[in-house]
A and B are shown apart, each in its own frame.
Chain A
Amino acid sequence: MRAPRAWRVAVLLTGTLLLPAGRAAADPSTFVYADAGEPSTIDPAKANVNFELTITRNVYDRLVDFDPSDPAHLLPALALLWTQDGDAWTFKLRQGVKFHDGQAFTSTDVKATLDRLLRIGQGQSYLVDDIASVTVIDPATIRITTRAPNVFLAGNLSRIEMSSADDINRHAQDADKGDAWFGEHANGTGPYSFVSWTRGSQIELRRNAGWWGAFPKGAFDRVIDRFVNDGATRARGLEGGEFDLANFVPRDDALRLGHSSGFHVIEGNNLWAWPAIYLNMHLAPTNNADFRDALVRAFDYGAMSQYFQTGNVIPRGPVPSWFPGSPEQQEPPITTDLAAAKDALAKSGEGGASMKCVIPSGFPEFSFAATVLQSSAARLGIKVSIEEAPFVQAITAIKQDHSNCFVLGNANLSPTDATKFFAAHYLKDGFYNSGRYDDPALDALVHRIPTIADQKERDGMLKAAFETVVQSHYIIWAARPTTVVPEPDRIAGYRIDPAEYINARFWEIHAAQ
């Protein structure tokens, strides 16, 4: 008798809760970017992950910029002119630039920034780790000396964000390991200024009206960088209109969404290999070059192409064809060739061997590549077992010879310099050189490239380095898909950065006209 009344109350309550509050009239001046996670730090000297760089790239400026559609073409930013003279580079700085706190930007800021970056040795510092000294010539001129001549320095500085000497001096005195302030505060000269960080939720930026650069018509006054860890949720939110753009939408969703009404696809290159399978050069059976050769030839590249559906090419080596000076087009394609693989296996004397792969968890592409390796190897009678572990654990496993292989996605953060990438992935002690490939000749060759002034000669050396790595069969470059970003039709201006794995240049994004 009474229950129906209780039910009516329940239904009424639920009903009112669900009442359409009218879709919150999306504030036209606010842009919401669904980022792949919450930054651990927004210190430009430490930022490392793309959802940390989202903040630093937009709040801070760099000395030099580049054209994403032609990365070899460097553009003036905080520096207007730059010249190389042997191991010294001189930069003429832009005048009248102010930090968000009102302080003027001068050469002392550049020196303090670079000194601090090299002291800390994290973040993007590896791109400029050959800097020997930084000298202030006058407030508008700075000289940077490298240990050896480096033609790439200006290009690599396009990834180094300039903070204020004043902040560095003020906060480096703290007992908090010197740098904690930068972890959650930001004072740059960039197009957007840091407003607030709601822990666990979002960071809010405001457009810097006094920025030296030009904003497009319809640029957003307010940017909300929302932390959304789950890729599917980012996709759903983008689709439902909650977000204006999203970082790293899973490929299936990106393709479906990009081709649905109200969206268009932005497609471009920024991946060098995705994924790349690293083989352990020191643990049997992958320490056998012929065995590795057999795996490379047996690998089913077609399966990867099918997986990525569109825009995928099979890499021929470590450097993609679209990178300035890449030798890839002249190299022979790498194809699946079971007969050759069997010959190589026979030559190796490792028939019937088994191997273990510990791969980073959380990336479906990595798991898929590992599975393809497993089935390809099975056709040679080789047994591959797969384990997934968090990144640090997985890379430690192979470095400590507990695993024969490792899977990684490759991108290069320098727009023009391949040597830093080589140093990290193929040279001795390189962080990502997980299989511990060790070839002193390659080390010497790669280290010499930046010192060569002549571009033709450098290109020839890059070709030699390219071929050395290919011939070592150290890596199975499983695929190189294009990056696909679904952009709502109401938004325009997003460009894929070839020297970054997905990044948003908020200062170029605007409401569609």
Chain B
Amino acid sequence: MTAFIARRLAWGVLLLLLVATLTFFLSRVVPADPAAFLAGQNTSAATVARIRAEYGLDRPLPVQFATYLGGLVRLDFGESLRTHRPVADDLVQFLPASLELLIVSFMIYVIASFWLAVAAARRPGGAVDTAIRLLTMLATGIPVFWLGMALQFVFFYRLHWLPLAGRFPLRDTPPPVHTGFLLADSLIAGSLDDVWKSLRCLAMPALTIVLNLLAVGTRLSRAALIAEFDRPYVRTARGKGLGPRAILYRHVLRNALSPVLTVTTMQFGYMLSWVILVEVIFGWPGIGLYAYQSFEVFDYAPVIALAIVSTAGFVLINLIMDLIYPLIDPRVRGLAT
């Protein structure tokens, strides 16, 4: 098992190196002058040249790359031209916000798509199934920015139920930072009121992400469930005198878990890309918004760092999934080692 994990991690590191190299050189191909951006508008050519030298942007590309890789080993992702801060500091600042949004969305998504899939798979082609299919397709068909704005319109502008944007009501003081996760920090501060405020801020961005993925997730989970319902062991379970509830939860769901898990893992990847868009729409101060704003001004370092961090996230999630499969399905136990 240890050998398996070690092998997977080694591949992960190799992949990261590849991503770092690729994004570094890709970003340098973009015809923009970061020094000019740093200098700002209405500055003289001399100032731009001075800044170029200060940031080492005048050195040959291989040298810059070597410096960059050397930094990466120490988890130094370089400095952001836009925020004038080390990218690593910025990531520490913004990553928890994104993870919090991602985790909450993912949990809602898993539960919601599972519920819907179960309801739909109960009677394939029935009224409930058709209604669920139509509604989820509708939600997914709406472009994510439009959906986000529509939610803002309804829940903020019309009903005044939820805040427009951001992680915390803007007039209020958030709890002291311990973890960077507002929900956790609110709990540490012992303030249920702050938990509540954070949740209300989370509601619309999370809903936007979930609604956009729901159709695919529900459809795939539904297919997995229907396939399981047709398996002979389900007939056996009925023949044993089990009720529909026991058949669903003890038998079908347990078996459908592996395919559903596979689907959900893939969805997690999509979710990462939606997070960027949703963060921009809802002014959610996470790495998505950070990377987007950096990208807009050709600030390379944060963009590369985000690519590396999200790749690392992928590697990690896939590893975790590989470790979870044997727990769910005894048939693949022992295969991993």
A residues whose Cβ falls under 8 Å from a Cβ of B: 1-3, 6, 10, 17-21, 23-24, 26-27, 30, 32, 37-38, 40-41, 46, 48-49, 120-123, 126, 177, 180, 183-184, 198-202, 224, 226-230, 232-233, 236-237, 239-242, 390, 392-393, 396, 424, 429, 431-432
Chain B neighbourhood of A226, CB < 8 A: 166, 170
Top 8 closest pairs, chain A to chain B, by CB: A200-B285, A48-B40, A121-B47, A431-B42, A3-B119, A183-B84, A18-B161, A240-B157
**Are B42 and A10 touching (Cβ within 8 A)?**
no
A32–B164 Cα gap in the complex (Å)? 13
Chain A nearest CB from B192 CB (Å) reads: 13
A2 near B245: Cβ-Cβ < 8 Å: yes
Let me know if B296 and A390 touch, CB within 8 A. yes
Q: Which of B41, B83, B164 contacts A48 (CB 8 A)?
A: B41
How far does the Cβ of B177 sit from chain A's closest Cβ, in whole Å?
Answer: 10
The answer to whether A17 touches B203 (Cβ under 8 A) is yes
Residues of A within 8 A of B290 (CB): 200
Question: Which of the segments B30-38, B67-75, B260-268 contacts the partner chain?
Answer: B30-38
Given contacts A20-B159, A396-B31, contact A199 B94 (CB under 8 A): yes
What is the distance, in angstroms, from A180's C-beta to the closest C-beta of chain B?
Answer: 6
Known A3-B118, A228-B165; judge A424-B293 contact (CB<8 A): no
Tell me, rounded to whole Å, the shortest Cβ–Cβ distance linking B288 to chain A.
10
Task: Enumerate chain B interface residues (CB-CB to A < 8 A).
Answer: 31-33, 36-37, 39-47, 50, 54, 82-85, 90, 93-94, 97, 112, 115, 118-119, 122, 128, 149, 152-153, 155-157, 159-172, 174, 196, 199-200, 203, 244-245, 280-281, 283, 285-286, 289-290, 293, 296-298
B244 partner, pick from A1, A49, A390, beta carbons under 8 A: A1
With A46-B40, A126-B42 in contact, do A200 and B245 touch (Cβ < 8 Å)? no
Residues of chain B lying within 8 A (CB to CB) of residue A201? 166-168, 170, 283, 285
Do A18 and B36 form a contact, CB below 8 Å, given A177-B54, A230-B280, A432-B42? Answer: no
- Is the Cβ of A123 less than 8 Å from the Cβ of B40? yes
CA distance A483 to B152 in the complex (A): 27
- B36 neighbours in A (Cβ, 8 Å): 392, 396
Smallest Cβ-Cβ distance to A196: which chain B residue = B173
Q: Please give, as numbers and ranges, the residues of chain A lying within 8 Å of B167 by CB-CB distance.
A: 201
Asked if B156 and A236 sit within 8 Å, CB to CB, the answer is: yes
Instruction: Tell me the nearest residue of chain A to B90, going by C-beta.
Output: A199
A49 to B82, CA, bound (A): 12
Instruction: List 30 A-B pairs, Cβ < 8 Å.
Output: A3-B128, A6-B119, A10-B112, A10-B115, A17-B199, A20-B160, A24-B171, A48-B40, A121-B47, A122-B43, A199-B90, A199-B285, A200-B93, A201-B167, A201-B168, A201-B170, A228-B165, A232-B149, A233-B152, A236-B153, A236-B156, A237-B164, A392-B33, A393-B31, A396-B31, A396-B32, A396-B33, A424-B42, A429-B45, A431-B41
Nearest CB of A to B321, in Å? 26
Contact present for B280 and A18 (CB under 8 Å): no
Partner of A390, one of B170, B285, B297: B297
Q: Contact between B42 and A17 (Cβ–Cβ < 8 Å)?
A: no
A215→B280 CA distance, assembly (Å): 36
**Nearest-CB residue, chain A, relative to B84:** A183
Chain A nearest Cβ from B217, distance in angstroms: 16
Are A41 and B84 closer than 8 Å at their CB atoms?
A: yes
The smallest beta-carbon distance between B42 and chain A, in angstroms, is 4
Point out the residues of chain A lying under 8 angstroms from B166, CB to CB. 201, 226
Closest to A17 in B: B203
* Minimal Cβ-Cβ distance residue in A for B81: A40
Report chain A residues within 8 Å CB of B199.
17
Name the residue of chain A whose CB is nearest to the CB of B283: A228
List chain B residues, Cβ under 8 A from A200.
93-94, 97, 285-286, 289-290
Inter-subunit contact A26/B32 (CB<8 Å): no
Apart from A24-B171, A48-B40, 8 more pairs, CB < 8 Å? A3-B119, A6-B119, A18-B161, A183-B84, A201-B166, A224-B171, A396-B31, A396-B32
Q: Which residues of B contact A180 (CB under 8 A)?
A: 84
- Minimum CB–CB distance for A205 against chain B, Å: 14
- With a cutoff of 8 Å between Cβ atoms, the chain B residues found around residue A198 in the complex are 174, 285
Please determine whether B283 and A233 come into contact, CB atoms closer than 8 angstroms. Answer: yes
> Do residues A393 and B32 form an inter-chain contact, with CB atoms below 8 A?
yes
List chain B residues, Cβ under 8 A from A424.
42
* Cα–Cα distance between A122 and B84 once the two chains are bound (Å): 15
A199 to B174, CA, bound (A): 13
Q: CA–CA, A204 to B42, complex, Å? A: 29
Q: Which residues of A contact B298 (CB under 8 A)?
A: 390, 392-393
Shortest Cβ distance from residue A358 to the other chain B in the assembled complex, whole angstroms: 11
In the assembly, what is the distance between CA of A23 and CA of B161, in Å? 8
